[in-house]
Amino acid sequence: MDRVTCIGAGQCVMHAPDVFDQDLDGVVVIRTAAAAGEVWEDVVEAAARCPVQAITLPGA
């Protein structure tokens, strides 16, 4: 995750709220690094929907 690139669009929070949150400036923060199963699918969707590709996934 690249907090410098993040523009605070909130797509990550909308698609994976168990994993992502936003600070007071709207910049993404990670709530937990443990994501498996259905939650992992939400993380993949969040990364795909990030308008500035600020979220990178392992092995991608």
Regions of the chain short of the pLDDT cut 50: none
- The CATH number given to 1-60 is 3.30.70.20
Over residues 30-39, the pLDDT tens digits come to 998 888 888 9
Q: Which residues contact 6 (CB under 8 A, 6 or more apart)?
A: 27, 28, 52, 54
In angstroms, the CA 11 to CA 59 distance is 21
Burial of 24 (0-12, 13-18, 19+ CB in 10 A): exposed
pLDDT, position 60? 62
What is the pTM (predicted TM-score) of this model? 0.86
In single-letter form, the type of residue at position 48 comes to A
